[in-house]
């Protein structure tokens, strides 16, 4: 038997991002990490995400439903591999 392999293809960026886009994207990730709902909304809107779509955008980036994205616990974005994590990811995906 051959061992399974995971091969990642990194296409990198296809264009250079301007300073404001990079700064807003970094600020968005900071808001995601700290479960800052207002920050997530503000940064998402600055990045061109519709005012009503920021929860979906945050979910796509983190692979978590909105209630987990804004959960203030320290491990709110950690994927433990539990059955509930698998079920959650199947619902999203």
Domain membership of residue 10 (yes or no) is: no
**pLDDT over 60 at 5, yes or no:** yes
Within a domain: 14: no
Residue identified by tokens 């264009």 is 15
Domain count, the chain: 1
- Spell out the residues 6+ positions from residue 92 whose beta carbon is closer than 8 angstroms to its own: 59, 63, 64, 65
Specify whether the CB–CB gap between 84 and 51 falls below 8 A: no
**Residue 51 resides in a domain:** yes
Average pLDDT over residues 22-44: 96
Domain span at residue 29?
19-92
Tell me whether residue 84 is in a domain.
Answer: yes
Residues 57-60: contacts with CB under 8 Å, at least 24 apart: 58/32, 59/92
Answer with the residue of higher pLDDT: 79 or 23.
Answer: 23
Counting residues of the chain whose pLDDT is more than 70, the rounded percentage is: 83
Cβ neighbours of residue 66 closer than 8 Å, sequence gap 6 or more: 55, 56, 58, 59
Predicted confidence at residue 16, as pLDDT, reads 84
């Amino acid at each position: 038997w051959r061992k399974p392999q995971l091969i990642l293809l990194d296409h990198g960026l296809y264009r250079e991002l301007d300073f404001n886009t990079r700064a807003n994207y970094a600020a968005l990730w900071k808001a995601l990490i700290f479960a800052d709902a207002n920050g997530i909304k503000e940064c998402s809107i600055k990045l061109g995400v519709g005012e009503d779509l920021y929860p979906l955008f945050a979910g796509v980036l983190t692979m978590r439903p909105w209630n987990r994205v804004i959960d203030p616990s320290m491990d709110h974005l950690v994927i433990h591999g539990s059955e509930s994590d698998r079920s959650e990811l199947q619902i999203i995906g």
